[in-house]
Amino acid sequence: MPCFESPVDGARLHFVDHGPATGQVAVFVNSSYLGTEMWEYQMLPLAEAGYRCVGFDRRGHGRSDDVWGGFDLDSLADDVDGLLRHLDLREVTLVGHSVGAAEVVRCLTRHGSGRVSRVVLVAGMTPGLVRSADHPEGVDPALVETGNETFRRDRAAFFEDGARAFLALDLPGNELCDAYVRSLINRCLGSTARAGTALGDLVLTLDVAPELAKIDLPVLVVHGTHDVSAPLELTGRRAAQLLPDSTLKVYENAGHGLFATHREQLTADLREFMSGS
């Protein structure tokens, strides 16, 4: 099983590397709770089309080590950079979903853009979700704390009860079979309770707004109109306004899980963005 050692603490982090070794490279950074399997509808078609697609399981997720520490944003960003260095990847399109989008941003502002040429923020939690002095329109932190407490009390119910809203299954065009939804819930349960709790706490303090203005690369921001986890106006649209060189694509009726419900649209947009057209 391919792994690399985290530069933070030596934790073994599992990665996948699909497609031709010489193809244009896309590196995928996952949502909370999920491993690289979440990107199956993007990574496999892109690899078949000649792109090199790389992804890794965040610490405490998928097949990576079950560890206690390293869930602060700096350490998570160091793990992303560690993968780029381990495989000596260059001219990368760095793709992050949800909290993974914040890891992408921090990786760039912490380690520079020498290995990265383009960025995609998919349903990102960036620049930050929670209300603060600089973000008075944000979500009441008490609501996030309540959700975190629900997770601590019964994370199985948390995933089960939240799946329909996560995928916006009650909206037209978002039909997914029950088997897929069940598999997604099971994948979420495969992450550790410690990892989920730590990332929930991270969302409470997440604020990368000042960092977005420092990203000197083309950025594609993809977001759904019905994302209840990271509402469009608080995250995706705000991120696009703060970034110096951004393109915002809004998916109608899409929720946070648009990588599944809008799979073909997302894959096509990634391919178009990577081609520079």
Q: Are strands 92-97 and 116-122 parallel, antiparallel or unpaired?
A: parallel
**Residue 127 preceded by cis peptide, ω within 30:** yes
Catalytic residue from among 65, 256, 262, 269? 256
Distance of alpha carbon 16 from alpha carbon 83, whole angstroms: 11
Tokens 């939240």 -> residue: 162
Q: Are strands 12-18 and 246-251 parallel, antiparallel or unpaired?
A: unpaired
∠ CA(236), CA(48), CA(258), 5° rounding? 25
Q: Which of 20-29, 93-102, 243-252 has the lowest mean pLDDT?
A: 20-29
Task: Give residue-wise pLDDT tens across range 30-74.
Answer: 999 999 999 999 999 999 999 999 999 999 999 999 999 999 999
Q: Is 175 exposed, middle or buried (0-12, 13-18, 19+ CB in 10 A)?
A: exposed
Q: What's CA 122's distance to the chain center, in Å?
A: 7
Closest CA to 55 of 20, 94, 113: 94
pLDDT of residue 172: 96
Active site residue 81: no
Note if the pTM is more than 0.85. Answer: yes
Catalytic residue from among 32, 98, 191, 229? 98
Task: Give residue-wise pLDDT tens across range 131-185.
Answer: 988 899 999 999 999 999 999 999 999 999 999 999 999 999 999 999 999 999 9
pLDDT of residue 133: 86
Catalytic residue from among 57, 79, 81, 227? 227
pLDDT of residue 220: 98
Active site residue 269: no
CATH code: domain 3-275 is: 3.40.50.1820
Q: Residue 206 is encoded by which pair of tokens?
A: 């997440």
Active site residue 227: yes
Report residue 1's pLDDT band, with 50, 70 and 90 as the boundaries: confident
Instruction: Walk across the sheet containing 3-5 and list its strands.
Output: 3-5, 12-18, 52-56, 25-29, 92-97, 116-122, 219-224, 246-251
Q: Residue 43 is encoded by which pair of tokens?
A: 């990574």
pLDDT above 90: residue 23? no
